[in-house]
Amino acid sequence: MSGLAMISALAAPCSAHAQSANADAAVGWLKGADCPTLGQPLQLSSLATPEQRTEAKQKALRIASDGVSQIASAQQQRALALGKLQQTGSSPSKGMQRELDNLNTAIQDKLATVALGLVQWTQANWIDQALINPAYPSDATGPHPLKAFVTEAPVLQSAIQPYEAMPGADRWLQPIQAKYQACLVATQNSIMDYNGALLKFEADKSNNPAQIQAMISKYAVMSSGFTAPGVAAPAALKPLQDRVAYLNDVEAQRREAERKERERLAAIERERIEKERQAKCNADLQVAKSKHLPLAQQFVSAIGAEDLERAVKTLHPDVVIDSPSTSGGRNRSAGLVAARKRLSEGFSSGNGGTTKAPGIYGCGSISSSVITSRGRATMRFTFRDGRISRIDINT
C-alpha cells in the first residue's frame, strides 16, 4: 500500500489502540513528506475535487472542535473516579480499573482522531497550494498567491491550541502545525524562484536598494521570512540581496568621496582664512610698529613725567578711558576734556605709580603694565586717526 493510500485508509473507523497506531503512522508520514511542489499536487482520490477538499477540511475542524468537549467530559469522569478512590483510600477494583483504562483510552483515541483529521486538513491544503498560479511579477497589485493559505495557519493553530497541554499533543498535533508552517515557507520560496528571472531583471535595472528591498519583502509573506527548519532559502533571493549590497556599497563609497571632498574644501578654506588672518596680522603689526607703538610710548613717557600737555597731545578728541571704580563698578570718561581732567587728578593724587614701557602683543595689540599702591593693572590702547582713541585699564 502506498503512503498516500495508507493515509486515506487510516481515516476509517477502527479500534482505540489501532487509532493511536494510525495517528502515529499518519503524523510520521507527514513529517517525512516533501512539501507541496507547484504544479504537482498529491494524487488522492478522496481529495481529488475542490468540493472534497473543502468538505474534508470542514470535517477535520468539526472533529477538532467537538473533541475538546468530549475529552473534557472523559477527563471529568476520570477525575471523579480518582476522587472516589482517594476518599476511600483503597485500591481500584477490577471494574474501576477497567473504567479508568477505558477513559484513558477514549481520551487518546479522540486525540488520535483529531490528529488524523488535521493530517487530512493539511493534505487538502497542500493539494490546493500545488495548484496555485505562481506567476507574481514585482509590480503585481493583487495579494500574494500564498496569502490565503497563510491566513489559514491561525485556523490550524486554533484547532490545536485547546489540546496543547494534553498528553499526546507533542506526539501528534505539534508536528502537524510545525510541518504546515515550514511548508508554507517552502511554497513561498518556490513562488519567488518561479519569478526569479524577472525579479533579477528588475533588480539589475534598479539603482535604488530600497526599491529592491521592497521587492524582496513583497515575496516574504511569512513572518519568519524565507527561513524555516529544513527549508532552503529561495535561489532567487541571493542575486537580489547581492544587488542591494552592491548598491549600498556604491552609495557608501559616494558618501565617503563626498565626505573627503568636503574635508578637502574645508581644509582649503581654513588655509585661506589663516593666510588672510596672517596677512592682516602682519599688516597690523607693521602699523603697530610704525605708528601706534610710538604714540603709546609718548603717552606712557608723558605720564611718567607727569607732563599733562604732552600726554593729551597723543589722545583722540573722542578718547574713552575706562577703568575700575573704587565702588566696584567701572569709571568711564569720554572726550578730551574728561581725559584731561582724569589725568590731572591722577597726577595731583600722587598715585601715578610706575608705568612700564608699552609693548606689542599678538597681531598689533599694544599694552603697558602699571604698578600703583593699589596694585597692578594693564593699560590696553586702541587707536584711530593717528591718535589714541581708547584706553582700557584692567586690574
Are 171 and 209 spatial neighbours (Cβ–Cβ below 8 Å)?
no
Q: What is the pTM of this model?
A: 0.66
Q: How confident is the model at residue 14 (pLDDT cuts 50, 70, 90)?
A: very low
Sign of torsion over alpha carbons 242, 248, 254, 260: negative
Do residues 57 and 125 make contact, with C-beta atoms less than 8 angstroms apart?
yes
The mean per-residue pLDDT over the stretch 329-355 comes to 80
pLDDT in tens, 258-287: 999 999 999 999 999 999 999 999 999 999
pLDDT of residue 106: 77
* Residues 166-207: tens digit of each pLDDT: 888 899 999 999 999 999 999 999 999 999 999 999 999 999
The Cα 196–Cα 216 span in angstroms is 11
CA 382, distance to chain mean position in Å, is: 58
* pLDDT at 129 exceeding the cut of 60: yes
Position 323 scores a pLDDT of 86
Backbone angle region of 375, left / alpha / beta, with phi > 0 → left and psi within -120 to 50 → alpha? left
Angle, CA 321 vertex, CA 319 and CA 323 arms, to 5°: 170
Q: Residue 376: helix, strand or coil by DSSP?
A: strand
Predicted confidence (pLDDT) per residue in 30-86, tens digit: 999 999 999 999 999 999 999 999 999 999 999 999 888 787 777 767 676 667 667
pLDDT of 390 reads 94
pLDDT, tens digit (0-9, with 9 covering 90-100), for 93-108:
666 667 666 667 777 8
Q: d(Cα 7, Cα 177) in Å, to the nearest integer?
A: 17
| Range 291-394: architecture per CATH | Roll (3.10)
Cα angle vertex 176, ends 170, 182, to 5°? Answer: 115
Neighbours of 392 (CB within 10 A): 16
- How high is the mean pLDDT of the chain? 88
Domain ranges of the chain: 3-235, 291-394
